[in-house]
Amino acid sequence: MVDPNLDDIVSFERKKPDVYGNAHPKNLLRSIMEDGECLETIANQHIYSADQFDQQTLLQLFRLAAKYEANPDRFSASLRGQILISAFYEPSTRTRLSFESAWHRLGGDIMSITDRSTTGIAKGESLADVAEMFNNYGDCVVLRESNESSVKEMMDSLRIPIINAGNGLDEHPTQALSDLYTIFKWRPELAQASPEHPIDICIIGLPAKMRTVRSLLKLIAKFSTAFNSVTILANDTEENIFSAGQKEQLLASGLTVNVSQSFSDSVANADVIYINAITWEGDTFQEYGSQFKLDAKTKLKTDAIILHPLARGEELCASLDHTPHNWYFAQARGAVFLRQALLTCLVRRTQRVLDII
Amino acid sequence: MVDPNLDDIVSFERKKPDVYGNAHPKNLLRSIMEDGECLETIANQHIYSADQFDQQTLLQLFRLAAKYEANPDRFSASLRGQILISAFYEPSTRTRLSFESAWHRLGGDIMSITDRSTTGIAKGESLADVAEMFNNYGDCVVLRESNESSVKEMMDSLRIPIINAGNGLDEHPTQALSDLYTIFKWRPELAQASPEHPIDICIIGLPAKMRTVRSLLKLIAKFSTAFNSVTILANDTEENIFSAGQKEQLLASGLTVNVSQSFSDSVANADVIYINAITWEGDTFQEYGSQFKLDAKTKLKTDAIILHPLARGEELCASLDHTPHNWYFAQARGAVFLRQALLTCLVRRTQRVLDII
Amino acid sequence: MVDPNLDDIVSFERKKPDVYGNAHPKNLLRSIMEDGECLETIANQHIYSADQFDQQTLLQLFRLAAKYEANPDRFSASLRGQILISAFYEPSTRTRLSFESAWHRLGGDIMSITDRSTTGIAKGESLADVAEMFNNYGDCVVLRESNESSVKEMMDSLRIPIINAGNGLDEHPTQALSDLYTIFKWRPELAQASPEHPIDICIIGLPAKMRTVRSLLKLIAKFSTAFNSVTILANDTEENIFSAGQKEQLLASGLTVNVSQSFSDSVANADVIYINAITWEGDTFQEYGSQFKLDAKTKLKTDAIILHPLARGEELCASLDHTPHNWYFAQARGAVFLRQALLTCLVRRTQRVLDII
């Protein structure tokens, strides 16, 4: 028999807020002055490491991302006729769909590789030869590979840009760009030259072994004006916590770096808590940090926000989803617009989406 | 040496009839008066169960499908800029391609997930989190999942419409819509308020365990004017044949319901024979009913038609393919247009394809 | 710390030559007079065997490919609204991406099948039924299958064109078309009725068991004016080297056919060396010919070129990549344009890209 509640079950309301928190990008858009030339420097680069970006380029990227996010239906044809090769030799539905959505939103076409076992690489083909193939078939490559060195090997032979979408434990620069973009949307004044209230960020886990954190710390080092301090919350020795040069880069930029084992203190004093339970061991993932769990009862500053690159495990309780601390959904949503901005620059279509005065 | 018959082998004739039988939709198109408002009610709904549709909505959907089928090249841009997430966690090339073809025919873009083992769900990610991801990346979701409850769990978190493309043994509503659309194309007068010659349908198998049949019976219950009787042909007890409430729904609508074990009688007296050899047991498929097989020698009414959701097994012999009883190919073909109609309504582009007077 | 060489590492130069050698197609384009009618004959054909093409059709196809290659951004909408079904039941990322790139470059949409194990065929569905499904869902099919007879079986039921993209050890006609297109780009005068300097080609391996070679020899037989001699370099008996009728077809066309076991003599005297290490044994690949290896030290004619269908193994050393003998990269690149030409003809959009005077 027909379920009497069927009407309620099947109805949905598209007008519900897309994100929690005041995540609309319009204030960020206003707080950064447009400088298109800055973005053109990206057009000659592969995106390999967070270290490639300077402060000005980052701000302009965030501005363009905010522009897309504020006008999601406006630039739907800027990549028409362009082909993305979406090569996920290490499977990742979430990251793949985020990139592919960004590309499609701009009107481009996509060819996906989602199964390494059937590729030439699995049969011994060199990465240089694969790169040569990509040169002929597409206009841009997004690569996810467990092997750290693969992206670099391909870069040697590519005449089209490649984006490192996660290479082993090394880096995941576009994730870090999305993370910082989220923080700036939350507090647009941090984009100013001398913000009145720089923030404290607490990162849970081992920066040495978390590629999203590795890339994020490199970006934070470019914004010592916006950050007061970086606290690493981890039950381990400094030797295991940091990789070579990692802490030094933060200190050299003028940031205060703390290491703490006290969960409650660290999260209670932070403006931004960055959590992720995944670390790299050898060539695969391990869970990390089941001793550090955030839920709705965790004592946080009233206006603190939580970031998480997702997918999540037990470390981030769903009880937080409907609180104003939840900016991880806004972070996931913003990643599409950030990637739209980056992709537009890479394939030299920037002029199509900038205001020409 | 060159095969002397090569020319004959490689030539094809695109002008061959696309379907057997008089399956052109123009008579159905004429027999239903357009009522666009009716279709707008679908825009606020996920498509979960055949029970969602009332008679008027069904007729308007069929009318729109007929319009697409009669003018296949006319509305090729109505979904431009829209992204479909085609999530087939239970693989099904046929259903996937049918939906993807419908979406592409309307100018939209697609992201496909065809391998459950590499997804976050396989690694323990909650369906609510997957749904949140889909909210950010696409405009509509088509989901095929062996797990009955998955689609409902996603519906809770989605702000974009989802279509149930088969959830375990439960339902497959768009298949049933396509089935009924085929019947109405064959006999457009059945769409009238009081058809002169209501028809008898014979369904071979266990309605309790066949999701396409479960959905179809729910639709038939909305059209007691069009159907005289429903005969279930099955070698089993009523207890196993019907699930709870299934027979009662048909009876409540005023239909005559028969159960028969006599193959020859049942098929010889039916106007429509619906056959399918697949039943659900636990969380997988079983073959059913090798004792009931249709072939060109089976005695049928001269103008009876056979429907089958395909792919077929031994139960439906290819010897019937070139007879006028073959409406299963027309059924498969029409499914694309029916899905075009439904998708257009779901993503609120109905006004682009309706006649505005 | 930041790598001081990062800027160098991440920069790329899109203006590097796309191919080695003087591979620009403009001379070939000029040397063939346009004859559009010739191409329309292809519109009624499946592409099954290299034997289907006569000399005039081949030249016109090459002309159209050269036109695309010379103007890669000009015809980007000629397949808009058309859907390709890219069915790679035997996985092949390289060939799949080449076809998909060609289709996307012309503005069309694509549905891919990359995993045979999840298809109806794996569950026992007949190829005729799969073909019937394809009729309803797409406008053109590209099929790669280990089973030789599959493509023929599908052809029987298809009302849309299918392209054989490799069927077991039998044929791979579009690879051969790309190979010959490369040779004609290199020496456009070979397209003349009576070339002054016909060339000598050396093929390394067993033509009987190499599908790309099987198709290529059939095309060469159409151009006895352009080729002086065909030398097969193989350590085997003639019985194993040639399949039935293979040598006879070459001889009947007036070509000189040599069989040699002397590596150094054969390659030193050839204008074109065609190498590939893959042969078919039963229903899978085997490596062949590790005794024959080309590298930068191999003595070749100064202006000789090397062709290889890729992916390569040890038989073709990367030390040749930066020499003028390397035309295998140009061959891979040209394959996209050749396929654009063929696909345009198959789906009857030829008139959109021909010059109308």
What are the structural domain ranges in chain C?
26-172+334-353, 174-333
Residue A337 pLDDT > 60: yes
- Whether the CB of A219 is below 8 Å from some CB of chain C: the reply is no
Q: Residue B55, exposed/middle/buried by CB under 10 A (0-12, 13-18, 19+)?
A: middle
Bond before B311 cis per omega within 30 degrees: yes
CATH 3.40.50.1370 correct for A173-333: yes
- The residues that bridge with C86 in the sheet, in sequence order, are C112, C142
B neighbours by CB contacts (3+ pairs under 8 Å):
A, C
Q: What is the pLDDT of residues B35-74, one digit of tens each?
A: 888 898 898 899 999 999 999 999 999 999 999 999 888 8
Please give the pLDDT value at position A2.
73
Same fold, C26-172+334-353 and C174-333: yes
DSSP state of C111: E
**In CATH, which superfamily holds the domain spanning B26-171+334-353?**
Aspartate/ornithine carbamoyltransferase (3.40.50.1370)
Beta strands in chain C (DSSP E): 83-88, 109-113, 140-145, 162-167, 199-204, 227-233, 256-260, 272-275, 278-281, 284-287, 305-307
Contacts of B48 in chain A (CB under 8 A): 6, 9-10
The residues in B 98-117 lying below 8 A from C, measured between CB atoms, are 98, 100-101, 104-105, 107, 110, 112, 114-115
Average per-residue pLDDT for chain C: 91
* ipTM value: 0.94
Residues in CB range of C304: below 8 A, 6 or more apart: C267, C270, C271, C272, C273, C325
C138 part of contact set with chain B, CB < 8 Å: yes
Cα(A119)–Cα(A91) distance, rounded to whole angstroms?
13
pLDDT digits (tens, 9 = 90+) for C93-116: 999 999 999 999 999 999 999 887
Which pLDDT score, from 0 to 100, does residue B122 have? 76
Q: What mean pLDDT value characterizes chain B?
A: 91
CB contact under 8 A, B12 and C161: yes
C316: which DSSP letter? B
| Residue A85 at interface with chain C, using a CB cutoff of 8 Å | yes
Contacts of B155 in chain A (CB under 8 A): 9-10, 12
In chain A, whose CA is at the least distance from the CA of C310?
Answer: A129
pLDDT beyond 70 at B22: no
C296 exposure class (CB count in 10 Å sphere: 0-12, 13-18, 19+): middle
- Cβ-based neighbour number of residue B313 at 10 Å: 17
Q: Cβ of C311 and A125 within 8 Å?
A: yes
By Cβ distance, the residue of A44, A129, A218 closest to C310 is A129
**Mean pLDDT of the C18-45 span:** 83
Residue of chain B minimizing CA distance to A100: B111
Residue scoring higher pLDDT (C128 or C77): C128
Contacts of C245-252 spanning 24+ positions with Cβ under 8 A = C245/B1, C246/C207, C246/C208, C246/C214, C246/C217, C248/B1, C249/B1, C249/B2, C249/C217, C249/C218, C249/C221, C250/C217, C250/C220, C250/C221, C252/B1, C252/C221
How are beta strands B278-281 and B284-287 bridged, if at all?
antiparallel
CB B171 within 8 A of CB B208: no
Give percent above pLDDT 90 in chain C: 76
Quick one: CATH architecture of A26-172+335-352?
Answer: 3-Layer(aba) Sandwich (3.40)
Q: What is the percentage of chain A residues whose pLDDT exceeds 90?
A: 76
What is the architecture, at CATH level 2, of domain C174-333? Answer: 3-Layer(aba) Sandwich (3.40)
Q: Which of C12, C144, C316 to mutate to test the interface with A (most CBs of A within 10 A)?
A: C12
- Residue C19 reports pLDDT greater than 90: no
Q: In terms of CATH, what superfamily is C26-172+334-353? A: Aspartate/ornithine carbamoyltransferase (3.40.50.1370)
Lowest-pLDDT range of A268-272, C101-105, C162-166, C277-281: C277-281
Q: Is the pLDDT of residue C14 over 80?
A: no
